[in-house]
Chains A and B, each alone.
Chain A
Amino acid sequence: MQGEGAVALPLQAVPEPRRRRAWSALRRQKLAMAGVVIVGFFLVLAVIGPKVSPYDPLKQTIRERFARPSHAHWLGQDEFGRDILSRLLHGAWISFEVGVISVALAGLFGVVLGLVAGYWGGWLDTSLTLVMDVLNVFPSLLLAISLVAVLGNSLRNVFIAIAVTSIPAFMRIVRGSVLSVRQTPYIEAATSVGVPTGRILAWHVFPNVTPPLIVHSSLTFAYAVLAEASLAYLGLGNRPPAPSWGSMLNSSYGFLETAPWVSIFPGVAIAITVLGFNLLGDGIRDALDPRLR
Chain B
Amino acid sequence: MADNRDTHRTQDLTRRAFLGGTAAAAATAILAACGSSSTATSTPAPTKAPAAAASPAVGAASPAAVATTAPTTAAAATTGTSPTTAPATTGSTSAAPTAAAAAGTPKKGGVLKMGLQGDPVALDPHSTSLTATNHIVEHIYGRLVTIDATLSPQPDLAQSWDISSDGLVYTFKLRQGVKFHKGQPFVAGDVKYSYERVLDPKTKSTSTAGLSSIDKIETPDDSTVKITLKKPNAAFLVGLWSPNYAIVKKEDVDKNGDLTKTANGTGPFMFKDYTPNTKLTLVKNPNYWDTGKPYLDGIEMTPVPDDTARSTAIRTGTVDFVEYAPAKDIPQLKADKTLTIAGDQNTNIRYLGFNLTQKDKPWANPKVRQAISLAMDRQAIVDAAFYGLAIPTLTVFPPGYWATLDTKVPPQDIKGAKAMLADAGFGSGFKTAIKTWSSYPFLSNAALAVQDQLKQIGITADVLPEDNGTFIADNNAKNYEMLVSGTSGYTDPNDIMLSNFGTGLASNNSGYSNPNFDKLVSDGVAVSKQDDRKKVYAQLQQILLADNPWVMLYVGSQYEAMKSYVKGYVHNATGTNIGLKETWLDK
Contact = CB atoms under 8 A, between A and B. Distances in A.
Nearest to B452: A60
Contacts of A156: none
Contact of A1 (B1, B13, B81): B1
B23 A274 contact: yes
A234 interface: yes
B448 A80 contact: yes
> In this complex, which of B25, B30, B452, B464 has the most chain A Cβ atoms within 10 angstroms of its Cβ?
B452
Interface string A216-243: 0000000000100110011100011100
Given A65-B81, A274-B23, A230 B31 contact: yes
Chain B interface size band reads 35 or more
Interface string A64-77: 01100000000000
Contacts of B451: 241
A77 to B, nearest CB: 12
A95 interface: no
Contacts of B34: 230, 233-234
B462 A240 contact: no
Contacts of A286: 9, 12
A254 B20 contact: no
Contact of B2 (A1, A62, A63, A258): A1
A66 B81 contact: yes
Contact of B35 (A79, A80, A234, A278): A234
Contacts of B463: 239-241
Contact of B31 (A63, A229, A251): A229
B53 interface: no
Interface stretch (A116-124, A167-175, A176-184, A264-272): A264-272
A239 B462 contact: yes
B81 A230 contact: no
A1 to B, nearest CB: 7
Nearest to A259: B81
B25 A279 contact: no
A114 B255 CA distance: 60
B20 A267 contact: no
B143 to A, nearest CB: 36
Contacts of B2: 1
B316 interface: no
A62 B384 contact: yes
A240 B465 contact: yes
B13 A62 contact: no
Nearest to A145: B34
A29 B10 CA distance: 10
A143 interface: no
Among B13, B16, B27, B30, residue most surrounded by chain A Cβ atoms (within 10 Å): B27
Interface residues of A, number: 44
B308 interface: yes
Contacts of A256: 308
A80 B380 CA distance: 9
A93 to B, nearest CB: 20
A271 B465 CA distance: 27
Contacts of B377: 62
A144 B25 CA distance: 21
B35 A253 contact: yes
B328 interface: yes
Nearest to B2: A1
B21 interface: yes
Contacts of B441: 251, 254
B163 to A, nearest CB: 49
B380 A62 contact: yes
Given A80-B448, A270-B28, A275-B20, A239 B465 contact: yes
B495 interface: no
Contacts of B19: 278
B16 A282 contact: yes
Contact of B384 (A65, A141, A249, A270): A65
B479 interface: no
A250 interface: yes
Contacts of B383: 62-63, 65
25 contacts: A1-B1, A31-B16, A58-B452, A65-B383, A229-B27, A230-B31, A233-B31, A234-B38, A235-B438, A239-B462, A239-B464, A240-B444, A241-B463, A246-B31, A250-B35, A253-B35, A254-B307, A256-B308, A257-B332, A258-B332, A271-B24, A271-B25, A271-B27, A275-B20, A282-B20
Q: Which 4 A-B pairs have the closest CB atoms?
A: A271-B24, A62-B380, A60-B452, A254-B308
Interface of B: 1-2, 9, 12-13, 16-17, 19-21, 23-25, 27-28, 30-32, 34-35, 38, 79, 81, 307-308, 326, 328-329, 331-332, 377, 380, 383-384, 438, 441, 444-445, 448-449, 451-452, 462-465
